[in-house]
Amino acid sequence: EIVMTQSPATLSVSPGERATLSCRASQSVSSNLAWYQQKPGQAPRLLIYGASTRATGIPARFSGSGSGTEFTLTISSLQSEDFAVYYCQQYNNWPPEVTFGQGTKVEIK
């Protein structure tokens, strides 16, 4: 099983600042990585797929990078609506499974 490890668990950021979230895979997943945003009481929303491609309608302040085992999600200038929990997901190891990281909560500093 590929284990996805996200860091930090919680990130305290002021509005307008940059946020950098990390995701590490226990073995290479190539570029088969996605990022999701989840707000309280809502279903997750796809942000990034293929490690760096923004999903439809996602603002340009969200960017993804990395390949292999190390990945980063950057939010260039945090807006109030960006405070949420972010998850990475690998989909390289199919069949038989996909796996999620444990999440990073981005909170207001």
Partner 1 sequence: EVQLVESGGGLVQPGRSLRLSCAASGFTFDDYAMHWVRQAPGKGLEWVSGISWNSGSIGYADSVKGRFTISRDNAKNSLYLQMNSLRAEDTALYYCAKSHSVGAGGWFDPWGQGTLVTVSS
Residues near partner 1 (CB under 8 A)? 1, 32, 34, 36, 38, 43-46, 49, 55, 85, 87, 89, 91-92, 94-103
**CB-nearer residue toward partner 1: 83 or 87:** 87
3-state secondary structure of 81: helix
Q: How far is the CB of 72 from partner 1 (least distance, A)?
A: 17
Cα angle 81, 6, 85; round to 5? 20
Q: Is 104 exposed, middle or buried (0-12, 13-18, 19+ CB in 10 A)?
A: buried
The tokens of 11 are what?
């990130």
Q: How far is the CB of 102 from partner 1 (least distance, A)?
A: 5
**CB-nearer residue toward partner 1: 16 or 41:** 41
